[in-house]
Amino acid sequence: MESEQTISMIQILVILRKHIKAILGSTIIVTLIAAGMTFFVMTPKYSATTEILVNRKLSADMQGAQFQQVQADIQMISTYKDIIISPTVLKDVNREVKTAAGYPGSMSNLKKSITISNSQNSQVFSVTAKTTNPKTAAKIADLTAKVFKRKIVKIMSINNVSIVSDAVINDNPVSPKKVLNITIGVLLGLLLGIGLAFILELTDRTVSSESFLVDELGLTSLGVVSEIDQKDIERTVQRKKFHVRMPEKQTKRRV
């Protein structure tokens, strides 16, 4: 079993070495495509995040149930998430940012540009906005938090919403990820090149050795015709012409 595996690995290495140009060419082409898409086609996007805390106050006679209330508030975050991306909140946000640079284009796209997340067992949750303009991203995040704080009072009679931190303008784009995209391009190009090498090898019907005819096909070898380079043929012809002319000149001198 060990010898078979060794032979198999050697064959693989031989195939890869034989088609090394195809592998390198594929890798370079796919990497250049990935780099071109990353630097010249994909639009950079920026994100900004604001944090919100919703902590419902308990009456004096309910202070003993503080822990249960905290757990209930954590479970309610899923409801708050749905309210934040509902038309009730986003209509007001959309109206304010409609003329801003980097505006997503519609309320449905505005909804897609907003993500809400929270850490486990935490009453604080984050509202993150992502657009093609860093200032607009921060504006959307802040407006969403403020509108939610105002609307939740009427919707759920909750008046203890705190904005823990305002969104900060970040001029560093979060996408596209240049290094990651180029790395993926290199790996995809390499895999594509290796796959192409094996396809070329499997579809190659050229007889490259006498052993293939004898061992694999069971044919009888009648001989081997060596390939002669055209330049070697021309040199041989020139030598013969030279040797033919030399005796003729010597005969003339003797006469």
Domain around 195 = 9-41+177-203
pLDDT in tens, 7-59: 478 888 888 898 999 999 999 999 999 999 999 999 999 999 999 988 765 55
Query: Do 61 and 131 share a domain, yes or no?
Result: yes
Q: What is the per-residue pLDDT across 156-204, written as a single tens digit (0 to 9) for each?
A: 877 788 899 999 999 999 999 999 999 999 999 999 999 999 898 888 7
Looking at the structure, do residues 183 and 141 belong to the same domain, yes or no?
no
Tell me whether residue 168 is in a domain.
yes
CATH of the domain at 80: 3.30.1890
Q: Is residue 210 part of a domain?
A: no
pTM comes to 0.68
Same domain, 94 and 191: no
Does 138 share its domain with 191? no
SS (H, E, C) the chain: CHHHHHHHHHHHHHHHHHCHHHHHHHHHHHHHHHHHHHHHHCCCEEEEEEEEEECCCCCHHHHHHHHHHHHHHHHCHHHHHHHHCCHHHHHHHHHHHCCCCCCCCCHHHHHHCEEEEECCCCCEEEEEEEECCHHHHHHHHHHHHHHHHHHHHHHHCCCCEEEEECCCCCCCCCECCHHHHHHHHHHHHHHHHHHHHHHHHHHCCCCCCHHHHHHHCCCCCCCCCCCCCHHHHHHHHHHHHHHHHHHHHHHHHHC
- State whether 147 and 67 are in the same domain: yes
* Per-residue confidence (pLDDT) for residue 5, from 0 to 100: 44
Are 15 and 134 part of one and the same domain?
A: no
